[in-house]
A and B are shown apart, each in its own frame.
Chain A
Amino acid sequence: MGYLLLAPEMLLTVLGIVVLALGLILPQRGKKVTGAVAMIGTLGILVVVFWQFGYEAEFFQGVYGIDAYSHFFRVLFLSAALIIFAMAGNYLHLFSERQSEWYSLMLFATLGMIIMASSGDLITLYVGMELMTISFYILSAYLLDDGRSAEAGLKYLILGALSSAVMLFGISLIYASSGSTVFAVVYQTLQAQVVTQPVLIAGIILLIAGFAFKIALVPFHMWAPDIYQGAPTPVTAYLAVGSKAAAFAALLRILVTALPAAHYNWTMLLAILAAVTIITGNLIALAQRNVKRLLAYSSIAQAGYILVGLAASNVYGFKGVLFYAMLYVFSNIGAFAVATLVETQSGSSDFDAFSGLAKRAPMLAAIMTICMLSLAGIPPMAGFAGKFYLFSGAIQSGYLWLAFIGLIMSMVSVYYYLNVSRLMYIGKSSEQSVPVPAMARVALLVCLVGTLIIGIYPQPLSQFAEIAIQVLY
C-alpha cells in the first residue's frame, strides 16, 4: 500500500483545514454545516482505517510506522473524537459563532495523537505531542467569557511548556548517549552500553516525567483538576481520554521497543508512581463536590490503574493497558457526556445540579450510573474486565502489593462513584427536564452499549489488543 497507508493522517489534515475554511466561507461561519462535515469526515476516515487493517509499513527509515498497534490507537482516537463530536451538540452554543475552529482544533488534536501512537522517532513523537497539546491549550480556554476557562488555558500552557522542556531535556540526553532518536537505533546502540550510565538514567527519567505530566501521574498531576474543571466539558472529556491514551501509547512503544525492561529496570519506578497515583487520586476524589472535578481526580486514579499494566511489563499487562484505554473511551466519555448535557441545561456541574436527575432524565441517570460502575470496576461492566487484565498482569510479574493497593483503592472509589448515583436517585429534584438532542442520544447509547458489551463479552477486544501488542515484540 505504500504511502497510501498514511491516508488517514493526510485526510485528517485536509479535513481540519477544510472545516476551518468552511467557517470562513459560509454564512454564520458555517455554524450549521461544519459539525456535520467534521463528523462525516471522521467517520469516513475511521472506515479507511478499518479497511487498512492487516497492512504494515515503515516510513523514512523507521521514523514513522504503521502497524497493528497504530491501527488500534487510530481506531481509539477517531472513535473517541466521533463520540465527543456527537455528544457535544447543544453545548457548542456556548461558543456562539466559533464552532468551525473548535471542530478544526479537535481534529488537529486527534491528528497529533495519531502521530504520537505511530511515530518511531523521538522528535516526530514530540512534534505530534506538541500538535496535540497546543490544540488543547486553545481548546481549554475556549469559553471566552468564563474566567475559569481562561485560567485553565493559561495554566495548561505554562505547565505544559515546563513539562515539554523536561521531556525535551530527557530526549536530548538519550540522544547524547545513543547518537540517534529513532527507537530501533537507540535500542541497538544502547544494548552495548553500560546500564548504569547516569546520563542515560537521567534521560529515561526525564522522558518518563514528561509523559507523566500528560498522563497526570502524581506528583505531576496538579494541573489536571483545575484544567478539567475549567475547560469546556467536551474538551475535558477528550483531554481525559484521548490525551492520556496518546501518552500511554507513545510511552508504551518507547519503553518496549527502545528501552526494554530487560535492560533497564524501569518497572519499579512505574510501579511506585502507579501506587502513589492510585492512592492520591482516589483519596482526593472522596472530598470533591463537583462532578467534573470528581471525574478529574477519578481519571488521575484511572491513569494509575493503567500504569499498573505498564509496570507489569508482560503481555498480560500491556494487553490490559490497551484494553483499558479502549473501554475508558466508552465509560469515561459516557460519564462526561451526561455531565455535558446536565451542564448545558443547568449551567453548573456541581453536585446540586445532578440532584434527583433520575426523575428528570432517567436515561441519563442510568447511563451515568453504569459508566460510574464500570469505572469503579464492578462486573459485568467493562471496567471489571479491564482491571482484571491489568491486575493479573501485575500479579504475574510479582507486583502482588501493587495489585493489592489497586484492589483496595478500587473499593474506596466505589464510594464516590456511587455517591453520584445516590444523589441522582434519591436527591431532591427540581422539575426541569434535561433535553437530549438526537445525536447526543446516539453517542450515549454507543457509550452504554460499548461499556456493557466489552464487559459481558471481552474476548474480541482482548484479541484486538493482543494482536496490537504482538507487533512490538
Chain B
Amino acid sequence: MSEHATIGVFLILTLVFPIAAMIAAWLFRAKPEPSEEKLLPYECGVDTQGPSQMRFKINYFIYALVFLAFDVETIFLYPWAAKFQSLGLFAFVEMIIFIAILVVGLWYAWKEGALKWY
C-alpha cells in the first residue's frame, strides 16, 4: 500500500483543501438575512451601468503583462538584494544583465505604444 500512499495523499489533499477552506469560511463568517442590497452582484462598490457582458479594452491586458514582467523581476531582486553582500560581483553583473534584458522589453513595449491609453 505504501507505494500508493504518495499519490493517494496528494490526491486527497487536493480535494480536501479547497472544500475545507470553504467549509471553514462558512463556519466562521457572519450569516445575516439576505436583503436587496446583499443580493446585488457587487456588494461593495458602484452599481453596474449598461450591459455587464461587454469587452474589456486590450490595454488592460497589455498593462497587466508589463506589470507582470516587473512583478517577477521584483521577486528575483528581493532575495538578491537581501544577500547582496555575500553574493559578490558576479551576481551583481548577472543582475545587471537581467535588468538590461527587461529594460529592452520595456523599451519595446513603450515604442509599440503599450503604455499609451487609447
Contact = CB atoms under 8 A, between A and B. Distances in A.
B108 A176 contact: no
Interface stretch (A196-204, A312-320, A398-406, A452-460): A196-204
Contacts of B111: 24
Contact of B3 (A21, A173, A198): A198
A17 interface: yes
B104 interface: yes
Instruction: Assign chain B's interface to a size class.
Output: 10 to 19
Interface string B1-20: 00110110010000000000
A21 B104 contact: yes
Contacts of B10: 176
A98 to B, nearest CB: 10
Contacts of A173: 7
B100 to A, nearest CB: 9
B95 to A, nearest CB: 16
A20 B108 contact: yes
A194 interface: yes
B104 A17 contact: yes
B3 A194 contact: yes
Interface string B76-117: 000000000000000000000000010010011001000000
A194 B10 CA distance: 20
Main secondary structure of the interface of A (DSSP, over half): helix
Interface in A327-360: none
B7 A20 contact: no
Interface residues of A, number: 14
Nearest to B6: A199
Contacts of B6: 176-177, 199
Nearest to A21: B104
Contacts of B104: 17, 20-21
A234 to B, nearest CB: 22
Contact of A198 (B4, B101, B107, B108): B4
Interface string A156-200: 000000000000000001001100000000000000001011110
| Most chain B CB atoms below 10 A, which of A24, A176, A177 | A24
B101 A202 contact: no
A202 B7 contact: yes
A290 to B, nearest CB: 32
Nearest to A104: B108
Contacts of A198: 3-4, 7
A17 B99 CA distance: 13
B86 to A, nearest CB: 19
Contacts of A17: 101, 104
22 contacts: A13-B101, A17-B101, A17-B104, A20-B104, A20-B108, A21-B104, A21-B107, A21-B108, A24-B108, A24-B111, A173-B7, A176-B6, A176-B10, A177-B6, A194-B3, A197-B3, A198-B3, A198-B4, A198-B7, A199-B3, A199-B6, A202-B7
Given A194-B3, A196-B3, A198-B3, 8 more contacts: A13-B101, A20-B104, A20-B108, A21-B107, A24-B107, A199-B3, A199-B6, A202-B7
Which 5 pairs of residues, A with B, have the shortest CB-CB distance? Answer: A24-B111, A197-B3, A199-B6, A17-B104, A199-B7
